Amino acid sequence: MRIAAAAYNMDFLDNWQAYEDKLTRWVSDAAGQGAELLVFPEYGAMELATLAGREAAADLEASLHAVSDRMADAAALHATLAARHKLHILAASAPVFDGGSRPVNRAMLFGPGGLIGHQDKQIMTRFEAETWDVVPGGPLRAFRIGDITLGILICFDAEFPALARALIEAGVDILAVPSCTDTLAGYWRVRVGAMARALEGQCVVIHAPTVLPCAWSPAVDENEGAAAIYGPPDLGFPETGIIALGPHNAPGWTLADIDPAAIARVRKGGAVFNHARWPDSDARANSGVEIVQTANTA
């Protein structure tokens, strides 16, 4: 399977046609390079707030509603493009009001047959929880796509090993990590988390970030990142764990060919068995921690 991770720049859109044209170009470009699974970033859909005008896009609360109000149209467009090019698209995540008083952060997955399902973010950042009041959504899900099983950890979620482990124990062999980070440190936190999840689960991780400034939005005004695809630094994978890495803060696709059989091989015959030895780790951790009191040498 050829995978494409987007380093995606958000634009101020004059009208719906501008968004339709932009998304069509991005999907067509990846399809033209043979991609079968496209991953867009966290909160990449915030550019839809500009369709409600500059004042709405610049207001934290109004922008949430403006984007959520456009999600049915955006879903229809993604479904059309997935069908046209016969591929799978993990759409950029968006704030969605789904029956509750506050929005969730939701990424929707589309295939040639239409909407497959969605994944909501599990753990909110401080900005989401304390300032924006975006809330955790539904449970973790695993999606079967041909020969692979896909899990999705939205940005901050990738920094929590237990979430990835739950997905991997459910059969996931590829994790998508769409992200939106406003500092270099934030980008590296997600990147380190993504690489650690690839190591622990002996799986492939797709990191798709937003890039470049958006002066029209207080929510996504600064964006740092580089698209990448990571694997375990072991049998059949690069010794660095980096399968593909795009340039920093440069919009575009980063692509790699992933053989699901290679994931099975490294889990069965790699130099180490991180994936298989989780029970050993549990047993050692559950045996407790011995506190050693050192002598006072002062």
Tens digit of pLDDT for each residue in 39-53? 999 999 999 999 999
Residue range 74-99: average pLDDT?
Answer: 98
Instruction: Please report the domains of the chain, with CATH numbers, ordered by start residue.
Output: 2-282 (3.60.110.10)
pLDDT band at 294 (very low <50, low <70, confident <90, very high): confident
Contact 223, 187 (CB under 8 A): no
Mean pLDDT for all residues in the chain: 97
| Statement: residue 221 has pLDDT above 90 | yes
Rounded distance between C-alpha atoms, residue 35 and residue 23, angstroms: 15
| Statement: residue 297 has pLDDT above 70 | no
- Tell me the CA end-to-end span of the chain in Å, nearest whole number: 62
DSSP per-residue letters across 21-52: HHHHHHHHHHHHTT-SEEEPPTTGGGGGGGGG
Residue 92 identity: A
pLDDT of residue 298: 60
Rounded to the nearest 5 degrees, what angle is found at the Cα of 130, between the Cα atoms of 127 and 131?
Answer: 65
Q: What does the DSSP 8-state code read for residue 210?
A: B
